[in-house]
Structures are given as C-alpha cells and as structure tokens.
Structure 1
C-alpha cells in the first residue's frame, strides 16, 4: 500500500474514532481540553469573594448566576491569564462579561477578584478586601441539574415516602421548589455530590431531603430539622 493511501486510511480511522468518542461520551468528551479543565477546577472547588468585590459585583448589576453561567459557557483567555506558580490568575469571558479568578493550588480554593470593563463608580471603599465569603452556586441551578439527571427510586425510598406520608410526585416537587441548605451540603464529595434540600410541608413542619447527584438523582435520606429520622428503612 502506498504511503499516501496509508495516510488517508489512518486519518479516516482517527476521524471515526473521534466521532465515536463524541457520541459515547457526549459533552464529557471535551472535558480534557485545557480551558474546560480550568473552569471545572474553579467551579468544583469552593469559590470565595471578598466583601469589596461582592459590593462591586452588585453595583454592576451582576449576581452569582452570572458568575456560574460564565463558568459553564465561557472561554478561558490564556493570553490574559497568569498561569505560573501555585497561585494562578485565570481570566474567563462569556459574551460581554469578563472575570478574573485567583486559584490557589495549595488549598484548592478559588476567588473572584475582578470584573473587567465596568466604568461605574461604586461606593465600596468601606468594604473589606480581606473579609471573604463563599459564593454558593444558585439554588435554581442546582435543582435544575438534579431534575435533568432524572429520578432513580429505590425500595428504601418507597419506605421513606410511606413513613413521612408523601409520594414520588411530591418528591419531584421538592426538586422544583425546595431550598438547598448549603451548610449541610457536600458539593465536592467524591465520587458524587450530595445536597440537603429543605421543603416546608406547612407553617410548622419541614422535611430535609439528602439528595445525591450521580448518573441519576437519588434520595438517600429524609430527615427532620434536627437531622434525625423516625423511619427505619435500611
């Protein structure tokens, strides 16, 4: 076989392999790309923001939804980023929004440090740049992702539902109208994140759903406010 023909056969084989990988892995097949790896690292670790930067973000009319949308759909500008050393600064842009993130490789923390391109004068001089808080992923984004994964119900779930007097339709409503309790959630748990979702039954009674985000969304446990459960469904 001539070299030219061998090369064509090889290239066709590579192309078919890439196409097959895309259909088998879907969007995950692109996760290895450098920009996507950077965005995943930022989003999957705890994102902090100083009081001063938060003040400017709100002054610019932006919210945490904008930051997380930027990480979901934006592109990393490596030419504007500082990637040397253990403390790196990455610039990510989505449409007109451009944000700088400080990434500390030693403690796996990310921080929003600058919003680019805004000329608005903000009264933020009294806010500290040292005092920082967690910029949690918005409630609606988490619930939407859990709904999109689809529900996986087990025999244990049926026992739990019967015990607290609800059904699978009610449980689905929790993922529509519940409130994520970030202080009792573990979004970076390996291999699957776990969220605590609060749902008010009425003015006095509240249930807490421990939900795992995997290939399918699963309810692990249903508890009361103090974290205890009166259901023996193991």
Structure 2
C-alpha cells in the first residue's frame, strides 16, 4: 500500500512540474485570469475611448474632493462590488471600488448599455455623503 501511494505522489508531482513548465512558466498572471468576470468588465471599460461622463462631472469632482486620476484608478485598478451591482438588468450597472488609502475608498457606478456605450453614472467616497449643489 505504501509503495502504491509513493508511486502515485511521484506521478502527481511530475505532472505538476510538467504543467508548470509547459503552461504557467513565464506567463503574466493578468493574461491567465483575463476570462474572469472582473477582468472582462474592467478590460471592456478600459478599451472604451468614448466613456460618457455626467454633465456635472467637474463640479462633482470638486465636491467630493477627488481628481480625474482617482476616477481613472477606479477604472484601472478597482474591484467590482457585485453585491451593489445590477448585472442581470438592462442596462447593466457595475459599482467599482478602489482603495485610495487605508481610510478612503473611492467608488464609481458605470452603466453598460446594450449598444456598447459606457456611462459613468455616479462616483464618490464610500460611506461619505456630500450634499452637492451640482
């Protein structure tokens, strides 16, 4: 019995080494995970050069004390909050959050329409309500 287990584990180990050498070595982790929902949505958002912003965009930036780079970081490095997103309705709405610092998390709500247009609906800081006159 011990001999069979030893042969089995040697085979599994050789298989793992062979898989690593042929498939995983020298690969970018982002390429391997490009098929996941988070990465597909973020890649689609990054590829859209015609992202539509709200009319009061600059006023909201000043009100929330954010910069356009913060919104860019939300789109590039953010995490999708699927609990707050509406993924099954039309148009789909995704809330993407990015941790700016240990105490500040910036969010953006993006609308994905069926005609491939993307719109920034709302953004701000999680947990902080601003009463903007925009």
Q: TM-score, normalised by structure 2?
A: 0.72
Mapped to 2, the partners of 1:81 and 1:15 lie a distance apart of 40
Instruction: Give the deviation of 1:102 after TM superposition.
Output: 0.7
Please point out which of 110, 113, 123 is paired with 2:121: 113
Larger Rg: 1
Secondary structure of the structure 2 residue equivalent to 1:48: coil
Of 40, 64, 72, which residue of structure 1 is paired with 2:76?
72
Change (3 A) 1:19 1:86: farther
CA distance in 2, matches of 1:107, 1:119: 32
In the aligned structure 1, how far is the partner of 2:77 from the partner of 2:97? 9
RMSD of equivalent CA atoms: 3.1
1:91-132 CA-partner distances (Å, limit 9, x unpaired) = 11111111111111x2211111112533222111xxxxxxxx
- The reply on whether 1:91 has 2:95 as its aligned counterpart is yes
Q: 1:100 to 1:14 in 2, by over 3 A?
A: farther
Distance 1:28 1:121, change over 3 A: same
Q: Relative contact order, CA 8 A, sep 6+: which one is greater?
A: 2
**Distance change >3 Å, CA 14–CA 118, structure 1 → 2:** farther
Alignment of 1:49 onto 2:53: yes
Q: Runs of 5+ in structure 1 lacking a partner?
A: 125-234
Shift in alpha-carbon separation, 1:14–1:41, aligned structure 2, 3 A? farther
Count, aligned residues: 122
How far apart are the structure 1 equivalents of 2:40 and 2:118?
14
Alpha-carbon separation, structure 1, partners of 2:129 and 2:46:
27
Structure-2 separation of matches of 1:43 and 1:63: 18
For residues 106-145 of structure 1, the aligned pairs below 5 Å read 106-115=114-123, 116-124=126-134
Instruction: Name the structure 2 match of 1:21.
Output: 24
Unpaired stretches in structure 2, ≥5 consecutive residues: 100-104
Q: Distance in 1 between matches of 2:118 and 2:44?
A: 8
User: For 2:12, which of 4, 9, 14 is the aligned residue?
Assistant: 9
With the length of structure 1 as denominator, give the TM-score of the two structures: 0.44
| TM-fit CA distance, 1:18 | 8.8
